[in-house]
Chain A
Amino acid sequence: AQSVTQLDSHVSVSEGTPVLLRCNYSSSYSPSLFWYVQHPNKGLQLLLKYTSAATLVKGINGFEAEFKKSETSFHLTKPSAHMSDAAEYFCVVSALNAGGTSYGKLTFGQGTILTVHP
């Protein structure tokens, strides 16, 4: 079984200040983890993904995420928020079983709405 918990439903920051969106996961197997962003009336867009090659992952638009297995976390950060970052963000977990016969069920967190104030 797999699950994702996004710890904040809303995060509000001022432009130019750091952003932290928190995500904890649960998975029976080695997971793959993704962050997607959804702007109003737009489709879901991939921000970044954990590939197991490195625990610190860099994505588009200056976002980063760090995979911490001991804490089962994959928090999303950005050093300096921009007005265009205002959107809803989803943490997603995908797990394949050891035999590779499970075809990648994607489980979404509840989402975090990021508001950026001028």
Chain B
Amino acid sequence: EAGVAQSPRYKIIEKRQSVAFWCNPISGHATLYWYQQILGQGPKLLIQFQNNGVVDDSQLPKDRFSAERLKGVDSTLKIQPAKLEDSAVYLCASRQIRRRDTEAFFGQGTRLTVV
């Protein structure tokens, strides 16, 4: 089966600019996650969708970050305006939670550098 697709793979922007990331999950997966992975740290959950509804966005910096999931399939994550500390890898994952031990599948991530 096709995996989780993310684009772009790399992005370099100047601070105060805006940027958007795209994620296409595995077909049929109702749950979609966006994680931020800063160098040297474990991934931190930004937002979790169940179909097109938000389940958890408690750690999303809502003053600058936004995310949507259109029709419960693809998702975009936007940062506006970007700060230097937003430099990180942004990971998208999808999961079809039939049981509590169902695994999540991750994309390769988008590496963002803010200069």
Contact = CB atoms under 8 A, between A and B. Distances in A.
B42 A104 contact: no
B55 interface: yes
Interface residues of A, number: 27
B70 interface: no
Nearest to A41: B108
Contacts, number: 61
B30 to A, nearest CB: 9
The majority secondary structure among interface residues of chain A is: strand
A108 B97 contact: no
A62 to B, nearest CB: 19
B33 A106 contact: yes
Interface residues of B, number: 28
A108 B55 contact: no
A96 B55 CA distance: 13
A103 B50 contact: yes
Nearest to A52: B101
B23 to A, nearest CB: 12
Contacts of B3: 43
B41 A111 contact: yes
Given A43-B108, A108-B43, A111-B42, A51 B48 contact: no
Interface of A: 6, 30, 32, 34, 36, 42-46, 49-52, 90, 94-96, 103-111
